[in-house]
Structure 1
């Protein structure tokens, strides 16, 4: 029944409004009848009914012109009181509804100013009624209290609605901020992946082509061997680019995409660096652990970017990679031994995003990152990535 009534109230608002006003008019007329029953000097009936009809008819405009409707119902109620009717809550129904509607649709100051004015009108009317001079509670206190109570109820409902709207707007803004933050984070992650893939493989391809051109006259066999391995570098770049760009295509089947690289591909990375004349030595300390995919990719990308920087910017042709496993951390250290290196991707120079991307990767994994010149010469990249002992297990 309740659901059916609510559905009708939504689909037929004018019908519901008319029925409500008719019921309110009936309650007001009942108040007139009650007055005739309790007052010895019975006031006339039809003036009271006419004033009730005018007050109820005016309520149709209570949402558009709340103050005008409140003034009309107040005057009608005062007229009924002046005729000798007892101002009961039933008789004051149109005034109470108008005051409640005024509290809903006006400011707090307007609400209470109008409520005090209407309450004062009820007090003045009660004092002028000769039939109830011996009962000030019925003539003054009771009508004024009902008016103020109606105003308070309307103000409370208005505050609750404003609070609900404010909460909904805040929730919407918070959801938008969270969605925008997730988009930015995802965009930055993809940007790091693209930078690492392009910077590494294109650096190797450029170095291989330059080395082959340099050796083409003096050592043609070595030059042909380097050229023969050049397609492997470009093919690896295409595979990783396809995997990275595939993340942006939500509707495509990603079953044919290559898996994200990890430390298992570290020997291939060392071998690729050797084709451009960079000799990389890898040292592993502690018991190697099977890392989570995110941590495995983070460690691989940091090593890859560090070795790419060595190949691009360092005068030395050697680099050392150290992986240290402890119960709680995986420490990566990449160094090159020369005092003449000049890493152009340091944040101070602002010339690239290599070190910035490594720092962001380490921070995203909850680790620490440091890069800088060594006191004894050369450059060092050090990173400590936290391990979750519950999820990590010895590598097989």
Structure 2
């Protein structure tokens, strides 16, 4: 097998040898045919004049794949001259047949068939004249058929090669598409995991950090309040662990099916979320308007995470005295609005770009946000066909507004 592979590689890099091989075989056959006596009566010395004409006609075949059409013209001219000078030599059009086959494999179909039909007619006419036969005789038509057959065989070979090339191109394109699709899905999954972990961890860690600061400040002056702050830290950290465990379980599922065993937060859990933030000092008012009705589980999860992120940013970056969360049920859309008043007269922190409450009061030591929260809100909303807008309010504070579809339309 190794010797065969080496020979094939060597043979593939020697085009002139491949081109010359049919001509060499034709000359050898011509030598053998010219040495046979008439009617197979015996052997005699080869007729070198006929062999010489055959070799002359086969010489251009050395470059038949490089210049197929000129080779057809030269070989045809030599074969016709040979046919006229030695009409009894039967191999005179052999080189032309090889050239016609090569032209059909290399040139366009129109060029190949034009040359093939023309050559067939010329060969048939010259043979009929030089052999004193009718153009419609069996031997004359045999020459015509051989030229047409050579062209047809080359055309079939060319079509097969083109089909194989198309199949290979489609396979390569499909492979590239699969790789690109796999990379896209991996990227989407990484973003999804990062978004889920950010929403779960950032909210609870913000509350734990705030309560830890309170406990540290009051530990010596007011141990009772410090004890309460530590109790809040315990509750929030336990809730964070439970929700993180649930989120990891959700990410292990093949999809976000409603019957997934991992608990998915929804709109019904907003009351508990608001109560937790109120207990940590954030004055939140939750209001529902319109005709409340069940929404798609993904819509409920998206709405919950948007509210959670917005309130977390308000608690983290603002000294708000009033925070309002409004859920409005429209005909087909759930509108979620979160507004805060920030701290009057302090303006907005330009470094914080990912949620409401960018205004920070005097003495606030918290730094600006990274922007991941607002990006996550928009990614969640866009994924289900919704939108999110966020920005400062004209009269101070910050506003986040999301419009989400109540029912999701299956993607086709």
| TM-score, length basis structure 1 | 0.67
Partner residue of 2:402 out of 383, 386, 393: 383
Question: Is 1:182 matched with 2:185?
Answer: yes
What is the aligned partner in structure 2 of residue 33 from structure 1? none
What is the count of residue pairs matched by the alignment? Answer: 329
Whether the 8 Å contact between 1:111 and 1:151 is mirrored in structure 2 is no
* Unmatched tracts of structure 1, length 5 or more: 1-41, 52-64, 392-396
CA separation of 1:323 and 1:236: change in aligned 2, threshold 3 A: same
CA separation of 1:342 and 1:132: change in aligned 2, threshold 3 A: farther
Give SS of 2:394's match: coil
Root mean square deviation, CA, Å: 4.8
The structural deviation recorded for 1:84 is: 4.7
Whether the 8 Å contact between 1:103 and 1:111 is mirrored in structure 2 is no
What is the aligned partner in structure 1 of residue 126 from structure 2? 127
Whether the 8 Å contact between 1:99 and 1:115 is mirrored in structure 2 is no
Give SS of 1:346's match: coil
Whether the 8 Å contact between 2:100 and 2:147 is mirrored in structure 1 is no
The structural deviation recorded for 1:335 is: 0.5
What is the aligned partner in structure 2 of residue 308 from structure 1? 312
What is the aligned partner in structure 2 of residue 167 from structure 1? 170
Whether the 8 Å contact between 1:243 and 1:257 is mirrored in structure 2 is no
Question: Is 1:220 matched with 2:223?
Answer: yes
The structural deviation recorded for 1:245 is: 3.1
CA displacement, residues 319-370 of structure 1 (integer Å, 9 cap, x when unaligned): 1100001121000000001343635441698833111111111111111111
Larger deviation: 280-289 or 301-310? Answer: 280-289
The structural deviation recorded for 1:135 is: 1.2
Give SS of 1:290's match: coil
The structural deviation recorded for 1:188 is: 1.2
Matches within 5 A, 1:13-162: 44-45=39-40, 84=88, 107-108=106-107, 123=122, 127=126, 130-131=130-131, 133-135=133-135, 138=141, 141-162=144-165
Question: Is 1:283 matched with 2:313?
Answer: no
Matches within 5 A, 1:358-373: 358-373=377-392
Whether the 8 Å contact between 1:127 and 1:139 is mirrored in structure 2 is no
The structural deviation recorded for 1:263 is: 1.5
Q: How far apart in 2 are the matches of 1:99 and 1:275?
A: 92
Q: How far apart in 2 are the matches of 1:249 and 1:277?
A: 35
CA displacement, residues 185-210 of structure 1 (integer Å, 9 cap, x when unaligned): 22211111111112111111101111
Whether the 8 Å contact between 1:119 and 1:148 is mirrored in structure 2 is no
Q: How far apart in 2 are the matches of 1:325 and 1:117?
A: 77
Q: How far apart in 2 are the matches of 1:112 and 1:263?
A: 73
